[in-house]
Amino acid sequence: MINDLLDNEVTTFLRRALRRELDNVPLPDVKNAFLETVADSGKTISEEDALEAARRSEGYPYMVQLVGYYMWQSAQRRGSNVITADDVSTGVSDALLAFDDAVCAPALDGITGAERLFLMAMAKDSPNTTQVGDITDRTRRSRSWVSKYRAILIKDKLIRPAGHGQLEFAVPHLGQYLQSL
């Protein structure tokens, strides 16, 4: 998908652009960022709730931003200066909806039917990893077919290897999103 766009002659400016890939932020750093940012805003959150918010963000930078924003908004709607476990839960739910719309749905735009079949076979195991052999069984396709689409989806950064014979979604929550379709 992205690579096809980058290969398009009309979009040569994208190829010249500096591309930065963000790694996931370590959860202790996310927790500390939540504690500091919440305190700077005049609110409070317990260490336990900040850690839970960090866990639920999975350290994915955009999800960290969404969870922080929506849990803060939840407390704000209640007129409270304390972000509670309920605010974290509400914030995560709202963040997932926004994440689905902004990240998961667009990530699937333009994929082929074969790529979707592969991803749906993987989604059955989400949030756990998937055995490549299970994809072969579930899709009723050959190992060479699975290898071909595995390579395409890895190149497009939708999935990634997760150990010998294992795959996982590279986009957080994508498997659960596919399960909901």
Question: Counting runs of H as helices and runs of E as strands, what totals does the chain give?
Answer: 11, 5
**Tokens 């890895």 label which residue?**
154
Do 126 and 176 fall within a single domain? yes
Please tell me the total count of domains within the chain. Answer: 2
pTM listed for this prediction = 0.78
Whether the predicted pLDDT of 43 surpasses 70: yes
Do 148 and 95 fall within a single domain? no
Cα separations (Å) of 175 from 45, 112, 159, 160, 178? 30, 17, 10, 13, 5
Do 92 and 43 fall within a single domain? yes
Which among 74, 105, 136 is the end of a domain?
105
pLDDT digits (tens, 9 = 90+) for 118-152: 999 999 999 999 999 999 999 999 999 999 999 99
The whole domain housing 49 covers 27-105
Within a domain: residue 77? yes
Do 83 and 117 fall within a single domain? no
Would you state the pLDDT for residue 139?
A: 97
CATH of the domain at 161: 1.10.10.10
pLDDT digits (tens, 9 = 90+) for 49-81: 999 999 999 999 999 999 999 999 999 999 999
Would you state the pLDDT for residue 23?
A: 79
Which among 78, 105, 132 is the end of a domain?
105
Within a domain: residue 20? no
